[in-house]
Amino acid sequence: MTDDDLLRYSRHLLLDEIGIEGQQRLLDARALVIGAGGLGSPVALYLASAGVGQITLVDHDTVSLTNLQRQIAHDMASLDRLKVESAAARMAALNPGVRVRALPQRADEALLDLEVPGADVVIDCTDNFATRHRVNAACVRHGRPLVSGAAIGFDGQISVYDSRGRHGPCYACLFPPESGFEDAACSTMGVFAPLVGIVGSLQAAEALKLLAGVGEPLAGRLLMLDGRRMQFSEIAMHRDASCSVCGTA
């Protein structure tokens, strides 16, 4: 850790739970962020500001004017630019010490099987069930912890799915792929602008905790937010032995 690092990350170093050792773990860590939109924007910016050594961004989409209401990694100069390139530029401006890989691709099974094994944590910031299930399945296959968030309207949710433990559920335990859940798109349902910032910041916090080895992750717990009342609630989750992804039955 350089003198500049000691100054830049001094507020982390003052925390007994992180300190020099925890910050060094962040500097050595590799994070994979799927999605560079509403949730991915605060996740990417906070991981970069906190000094996560290598961050890989995956998103095939480009920036449109409707994104700017909530996707804070982008601005007017980013219109029609690839989201991963726009976000990577903001991250580099914020912290040139982090290494950012921008992959303008869809998160299909082939890409996930290539990228997930090299990540210490995977953060799912996508907005559709099909991609979430692909990401979850890849994390189960390769034994990587997954931080998953969602936001629509005024409602948000977040959890950590870590199937490496005997009892830890995966995303499919709670939302089985065969159940036929329907996506609710922001383009038709709308989304309260700060909601994605709140959920994305919580995702970043959970990812940083996992990487630094501090605190208690949200594994086995689903945290839900009612943004109208600004009220959080939580439910416990358990592994489904008959789960088609991680089950043992």
Q: In what order do the strands lie in the sheet with 155-161?
A: 99-103, 54-58, 30-34, 121-124, 146-152, 155-161, 221-226, 231-236
Cα dihedral 131, 165, 203, 105 sign: negative
End-to-end distance of the chain based on CA atoms, in angstroms? 47
CA 22 to chain centre: 20
| Residues 6 or more apart in contact with residue 230 via CB below 8 angstroms | none
Residue numbers annotated as active site: 186
Distance separating alpha carbons of residues 55 and 53, to the nearest angstrom:
7
Q: What is the 3-state secondary structure (H, E, C) of 131-182?
A: HHHHHHHHHHHHCCCEEEEEEEECEEEEEEECCCCCCCCCHHHHCCHHHCCC
